Amino acid sequence: MNVDLAFRRWRAKLRAYYNPLMAHAPATLVTGFVDEISPDLAEQIEAAARIGLDGIDVRWIGKTNVLDLSADQISEIRSRCEDKGLVISSIGSPVNKLDLTEAHRVQELERLKKAMEQASAFGVTRIRVFSPRTDGGCREEDWPAVRDWMAEQAALAEGTDFVLVHENDADMYGAFPEGSRRILEELSGPNFKAVFDPANSACMGIKTIPDWFPWIIPHLDSLHIKDGINGTRKFVPAGEGEAQIPEMLKLLVEADWSGPMALEPHLSESGAFSGFTGEKLFAVAKEKLEALLG
């Protein structure tokens, strides 16, 4: 067997061991939303290995969302990743990416239950979630309903092996630092944490520092890495935009934080539920991140 492949498989098994314990592996994982490389599963996995990712974050296979993947598809994904020594880091679910209504609250609680079933089938604990979209952003009058919605989901995860990671996606209640801080100060714990995307904040004209850092560090599970130009939907490799990624990483190093980082570059196109980058630009995105980490 190729020595490099043998090492990657050993490392994948080591890091897979840490996942159910909700602890981080000894070194920072650099994974990626590989549906940005190709809609085809085989191409996603082959490219992830060629680029040198430690693992993948599952979101779309073709036009099928992770919540709708069959048992056979999940088995195939796991097998292909194991063959390439890749960890499956998270379920990139779309849970809560809807308007704040009672009907949506009930619907999304059921979808979270499905996400947990899928995560269990994948053998992972990390499930990405959002907070609902409210009229006018982060309004005081919406907080009680948002709190009840998110608390119900946090309670579902409490005492399980799952950790819900709340993303600050643009235009949702938790996209705003004050909204996200309220949610995390109310609910943060072993089963509910934050995943921060600095470009989501930049595209809204919000500063990563000081609006998010350092207050978010104690709640932070992981990062989604993309960079962007303030106030726009233009995305660039890490360190080339205005999302303050180098400064953010410096603060995290000083805080002795070493959670996983998932590349989600959006370098070719960006949509409401996903983006596209292609293998060549995805490799560039990884090289830029590694340069910053180095």
In the prediction, which pLDDT does 274 show? Answer: 63
- Cβ neighbours of residue 210 under 8 Å, at least 6 residues apart? none
How far apart (Å, rounded) are the C-alpha atoms in residues 207 and 227?
12
SS3 string of 30-75? EEECHHHCCCCHHHHHHHHHHHCCCEEEECEECCEEHHHCCHHHHH
In the prediction, which pLDDT does 7 show? Answer: 46
In the prediction, which pLDDT does 273 show? Answer: 54
Q: What are the residue boundaries of the structural domains of the chain, listed by start? A: 31-293
Q: Which of 26, 3, 32, 51 is nearest to 280 (CA)?
A: 51
**Is cis: bond before 210, omega within 30 of 0?**
yes
How far apart (Å, rounded) are the C-alpha atoms in residues 3 and 30?
21
0.85 surpassed by pTM? yes
Per-residue pLDDT of the chain (294 residues; tens, 9 = 90+): 454 554 455 455 544 444 443 333 335 899 999 999 999 999 999 999 999 999 999 999 999 999 999 999 999 999 999 999 999 999 999 999 999 999 999 999 999 999 999 999 999 999 999 999 998 789 999 999 999 999 999 999 999 999 999 999 988 999 999 999 999 999 999 999 999 999 999 999 999 999 999 999 999 999 999 999 999 989 999 999 999 999 999 999 999 999 999 999 999 866 655 678 899 999 999 999 999 998
- Cβ neighbours of residue 164 under 8 Å, at least 6 residues apart? 112, 127, 129, 153, 154, 157, 191, 192, 193
- Class assignment of domain 31-293? alpha beta
3-state secondary structure of 2: coil
Side chain identity, residue 246: P
* Cβ(56)–Cβ(86) below 8 Å: yes
Token digits of residue 59: 């979101």
Judging by beta carbons within 10 Å of its beta carbon (0-12, 13-18, 19+), is residue 234 exposed, middle or buried?
middle
In the prediction, which pLDDT does 3 show? Answer: 45
In the prediction, which pLDDT does 2 show? Answer: 52
In the prediction, which pLDDT does 276 show? Answer: 84
Name residue 195's beta-bridge partners. Answer: 167, 222
- Element of type H or E holding 94: none
Range list of H helices, the chain: 3-18, 41-51, 71-84, 102-122, 143-157, 177-187, 198-202, 245-254, 279-293
